Amino acid sequence: MSQLFTCSSCGNIVKSRLSKPWVIACPQCKSLLYKDKSVQVKDVNRNIPRDWSFIQLGTTFQYDEKSFEIVGRVRLQLRNEYKNFWSAVHSGLQVWLMESFASSAVLLETWHPTNKRPDQLHAGSIFTVSGGFELTGEYVEKCEGLSMEGEIGEWPLLQPGFFFMQGSNNDYHTAIFAVDANHHINSLQGMKVDIDQLKLTNIVTWNEWK
């Protein structure tokens, strides 16, 4: 069910699209309109750094025969690249579109705690996730900076400093893991996708030669 929020800083009225938002930032002045009591927001930049993404708030895409609209973003600045996690919604169903210049994937909205040890998550490690899928670790990087905009669904680590790891297999199953300072590990699971198959609309048009 959608909710209306009024920004106390600029008076802008925002209609939430997510059924259970964790954080909502005003699209006009970037002030926080809403924050779930369980969420810690620290050192989060609400002015998104420029990157190579042509996705934006309002972009739509097709996945699993459903049309999703982008309503928010969490951007991780890793040591060697960036990752955008676009919060997308279809009739109350939320997914994450993970995207960078290297790859893209659609991840289910729910984070799952894992009892693995941090030293078990490294490039080349083989492990099994829920559903019985065996994945191979691809890389581990530290999140050096975190930015956000719009509506954010469940995202337990809204502050930089955690370690990020991704694992995948040849059948395009993938999962990402976030390891916090207390060695708590949470994961999101989904499928790698070819960005062209998502039939993106309302994207940023630009010419890098200008």
Digit-coded pLDDT (tens) for 150-191: 999 888 777 889 999 999 999 999 999 999 888 989 999 999
What parts of the chain have a pLDDT lower than 70? 1, 42-43, 102, 206-210
* Distances in whole angstroms, Cα of residue 24 to Cα of each of 8, 18, 29, 69: 13, 10, 12, 16
Do 18 and 71 meet the contact criterion of CB atoms below 8 Å apart? Answer: yes
Model pTM score: 0.92
pLDDT value for 207: 60
CA distance 12 to 27: 9
The most distant pair of C-alpha atoms in the chain lies apart, rounded to whole Å, by: 51
pLDDT value for 137: 95
pLDDT value for 19: 85
